[in-house]
Amino acid sequence: MNKSELIDKMAKETGLTKKDTEKALAAFTTIVSKELAKSNDVQLIGFGTFTVAKRAAREGINPLTKEKIKIAASKSPKFKPGKALKDLINKK
């Protein structure tokens, strides 16, 4: 499913116009992104939690030259699904 298909389904589910739905989705993604940029978690009970994982600086190896390289510390967004979402997906 791509963004426009998601907007179509959300509009149908909520009864909102596609334009209003697109604004709501944009607001959601903007807010989650800004909170993650501040290293804050965003928890949606029953759905999941968006968090920021920190990766320490480390040494790696260039596979072409076998030369050792330094890999800088970084942050990465993560999503951990909630129990209700896991249960729904694993429903038989």
Domain of residue 48, CATH code:
4.10.520.10
pTM: 0.80
Number of domains in the chain: 1
DSSP 92: -
3-class DSSP state of 3? helix
> What is the pLDDT at residue 27?
98
Which residues of the chain are under the pLDDT cut of 50? none
DSSP bridge pairs for 80: 49
Q: Mean of the per-residue pLDDT values for the chain?
A: 95
Reported in sequence order, the residue ranges of 1-92 that DSSP labels E, i.e. its strands, are 42-44, 48-55, 58-61, 68-71, 74-81
Domain of 65 in residue numbering reads as: 3-89
